[in-house]
Amino acid sequence: MSGGLSSIDSIAVRRAYARWAPMYDLVFGSLVDFGRRQAVDHINARHGRVLEVGVGTGVSLPHYRRDLKISAIDLSPEMLARARARIAKHGLENIEEVAEMDASDLAFEAGRFDVVVAMYVLTVVPDPGRVMAELERVCAPGGEVIIISHFAQDEGLRGWAERKLAPLSAALGWRPDFSRDNVMTRSGLRLVEERRMKPFGLFTMLRFVREVEWAEASPPGEERRVHKRREAAPGRGYNGATLSDPAAG
Amino acid sequence: MGDNMTGKKGLGRVDAKLLELLVCPVTKTRLVYDEAAQELVSEAARLAYPIRDGIPIMLPEEARQLPD
């Protein structure tokens, strides 16, 4: 289970982030902050337990509403040390846990979180499909899985900005050719919003709702019927799809 | 709340209740918190995950293999 190709890749990613930890905020901070802030603003309208996968140096942590209970994980101990320093500095009592984990093998029970957010993570992991499966697993039915990622696009301003960023992408193991199909792999996750983020629309936020399912027992041989409830439990406040204009960047 | 890792007990102490909510990343089964050893023990995977400076390291490649 452990060992093999994926853990070799994990080690390479961890090494890259160890090298970049001291200057990450300086180099990448302004570029990715827009996206983080927009995602956190959205999460702040929700309730309950939040898991931030790939918390990095923890730039988003001070911005969560203080009654949300946050669990924060990352694969890089150097990044987590910085996140911890930030938590102490701001006295963030709502950050309940910080742990070192691999996003493709989460150490949480199924359905533990009301919101699961992974920002700038999916393009650096060896197996995005497996990470999506884990994000789905730890999200409670009716809860949300939120992804911010770069997805490949050739034309126009984004194409230009992408080429400009290629050296940075290489430094952190981002895949410039990463396709949206890599994250659209879970039937239990229904896409409810797709929003291009500033600057240049380089990054996209995808928001999924974890389907509420029941009727597990169906007779063998018969097509499995899964009833999907359009409205989530009271208090979760989900009102249906809100697809924003993807051209607005 | 209080005694989580950011709270009064300071760095290096982890809330035992929260630790018990973690599962083994390999088998997804329950863990036993060994406070003295600062380890989370997965009997199912025969692995002990270390807790360093209050941060659980939930990676099989970092875990100690339990003797048979």
Query: In the A/B pair of chains, how many CB contacts fall below 8 A?
Result: 81
The per-residue pLDDT for range B11-20, each reduced to its tens digit, is 445 677 788 7
The per-residue pLDDT for range A7-62, each reduced to its tens digit, is 556 777 777 777 766 666 655 656 667 788 899 999 999 999 999 999 999 999 99
Structural domain harbouring B23? 16-65
Q: Is residue B4 part of a domain?
A: no
Q: CB distance B4–A108 less than 8 Å?
A: no
CATH 3.40.50.150 fits A10-231, yes or no: yes
CATH of the domain at B35: 2.20.25.10
Q: Is residue B46 part of a domain?
A: yes
Q: Is residue B5 part of a domain?
A: no
Q: CB distance B6–A101 less than 8 Å?
A: no
Of residues A126 and B8, more confidence is placed in A126
Domain ranges for chain A: 10-231
Residue of A nearest to B2 (CA): A93
With contacts defined as CB-CB under 8 Å, which chain A residues touch B11? 84, 88
Is pLDDT of A249 > 50?
Answer: no
Mean pLDDT of chain A: 79
Q: CB distance B60–A99 less than 8 Å?
A: no
Predicted local confidence at residue B42, as pLDDT: 97
Q: Is residue B3 part of a domain?
A: no
Q: CB distance B28–A109 less than 8 Å?
A: yes
Q: Are A102 and A87 in contact (CB under 8 A)?
A: no
Residue with token string 């083994």: B24
- Please determine, for the modelled complex, whether the ipTM score is greater than 0.90: no
Distance separating alpha carbons of residues A116 and A47, to the nearest angstrom: 12
Distance separating alpha carbons of residues A66 and A107, to the nearest angstrom: 24
Average pLDDT estimate for A202-218 = 78
Predicted local confidence at residue A194, as pLDDT: 93
Predicted local confidence at residue A97, as pLDDT: 93
Q: Is residue B24 part of a domain?
A: yes
Q: Is residue B26 part of a domain?
A: yes
Distance separating alpha carbons of residues B58 and B24, to the nearest angstrom: 8
Confidence class for position B7, pLDDT limits 50, 70, 90: very low
pTM above 0.90, yes or no: no
Predicted local confidence at residue A156, as pLDDT: 60
Task: Indicate the residue of A2, A11, A98 with minimum beta-carbon distance to B60.
Answer: A2
Number of domains in chain B: 1
Distance separating alpha carbons of residues A224 and A246, to the nearest angstrom: 34
